[in-house]
Amino acid sequence: MNYSVWLRGVVAAFLLIGTSDIPTTAADQPNVVIIFTDDQGYSDVGCFGAEGFETPNLDRMAAEGMKFTDFYVAQAVCGASRAALLTGCYPNRIGMLGAPSSHSNYGIHANEMLLPELVKQKGYATAMYGKWHLGHRVASLPMQHGFDDYFGLPYSNDMWPYHPTAGDRFPDLPTIEKNDIVEYNSDQTLLTSWYTERAVKFIRQNRNNPFLLYVAHSMPHVPLFVSRKHQGVSEQGTYGDVISEIDWSVGQILQTLKRCGIDEKTLVIFTSDNGPWLSYGNHAGSCRPLREGKGTTWEGGMREPCIMRWPGKIPAGTVCSELAATIDIFPTVAHLTGAEPSENKIDGKSIWPLMSGQIDAKSPHKAYFYYWGRHLQAVRSGDWKLHFPHAYRTLVGEGGKDGIPSAYKNVQTPLALFNLKNDIGETTNVATTNQNVVKELQLLADGIREQIGDSAKKMQGTEVRQPQLFD
């Protein structure tokens, strides 16, 4: 090989990655705001095709930033999805599966590095307001995992005595401030306002130093609640009102950043934890034109609306159709802040080339894996997605009404291949005419099975870590 040619190639690649985005001083380090909603569907934002309600603040955020059309969570269920966001790992790798409740005896392990612990290396102030869902024991709560301040619910807002179908399964639902329970069964019409007020206060208090703010809204997870000032503002009823209030919250945060003069040094990310809980009908969102919803590995369960904004860094009014995911946020923040992840293996990749609009930037993922629990149900590479045979839930008839869910039934899918570019709704199985693609995706799946397992193959995985277990 000609050494000079090789060297020029290395230099060119380095320049393409860019060094100007890597902070050299504390003043260069971006603030990071992550707004994470609960059970919001793919088309539940105006710029993603919402009907019956408007989201002017989110739409403006997209106009001033980048809309991601192919953005994924790691599992279509609350707790596992949040674990992935905060650690950069598939939940299977760290043993954080399902949706832990008051009865669960596990939580996020102390040995796992979470986003706030990552950025505290660089002197960041950190705060979280909203739904945690990584374990309710004190050792698992946010204050023990890098957050300087916390207020919110330890798990889902339906895990309380007023659940419409669970009987007496759940005890009183605590509201927690820092490590202390301050109230039980709080008025949930106030949750979105409470989280927002604390977020705004935190931004004002930390305008002169770098910070990480994580706002994890309890809504629009059922039961739906909305403050009095936002009731009746949408055509769609309560669900539309709830989304409108979340949009208001986004507006308050963006407005505060501008008023504090830190708008241009703050990365804001908006997305959700999984698709809509379709059995709740008019109290659930929509994932048009995607198939199915929460609790499935079809696109409607795991592809989410995502908007990122950072004036002067993320090009305004742009759209990214490359595959990216919540597991990528951790390594991207590490890249932007200069912080060092732990030695624990993670699955995410920095997506800064996509976010910054670099010409011809591609997804860093050769493959993306869709798990339900410990079962590997699908894999995507490029435009191709292969479902392995598995049972999944689908609605029986129409969805429920006014907070009472309808029924699901279990059905089976065979080995099925879809071209998502041509068939985003996963309607036409083209496996028989694309056997080479099927084989390639099967090989990619075998690789992740060896690492983190697959219950369908009775494989445990050789690189699986455990959660924190409690007596």
- DSSP result, 201-228: HHHHHTTTS-EEEEEE--TTSSSP---G
- Looking at residue 30, the DSSP 8-state letter turns out to be P
Q: Are 161 and 172 in contact (CB under 8 A)?
A: yes
- DSSP result, 320-339: E-S-EEGGGHHHHHHHHHT-
Q: Return the bridge partners of 150, or none.
A: 128
Residue with tokens 């390594």: 331
Bridge pairing between strands 66-72 and 318-320 = parallel
Active site residue 78: yes
Can you tell me the distance from the alpha carbon of 433 to that of 100, in angstroms, rounded to the nearest whole number?
Answer: 42
Active-site annotation holder among 78, 89, 287, 320 = 78
Tokens of 56: 């002017």
Backbone dihedral angles phi then psi of residue 270, each to the nearest 5 degrees? -120, 130
H-state helical runs in 206-328: 238-259, 299-302
Q: Return the bridge partners of 133, or none.
A: none
Helix (H, G, I), strand (E, B) or coil at 307: strand
Helix (H, G, I), strand (E, B) or coil at 367: coil
Can you tell me the distance from the alpha carbon of 47 to that of 92, in angstroms, rounded to the nearest whole number?
Answer: 33
Phi-psi region of 373 (alpha: psi -120 to 50; beta: other; left: phi over 0): left
Active-site annotation holder among 47, 89, 109, 133 = 133
- CA dist list (Å): 54 to 44, 195, 278, 286: 9, 21, 21, 14
| Angle, vertex CA 263, rays to CA 260 and CA 266, nearest 5 | 115
Q: Return the bridge partners of 176, or none.
A: 152, 181
Active site residue 260: no
Q: Return the bridge partners of 124, or none.
A: none
Q: Output the CA torsion 375→381→382→386 (10° steps).
A: -60
CA nearest to 207, candidates 273, 262, 284: 262
- DSSP result, 398-457: S--BTTB---EEEEEE-SEEEETTT-TT-----STT-HHHHHHHHHHHHHHHHHH-BGGG
Q: Which residues are catalytic?
A: 78, 133
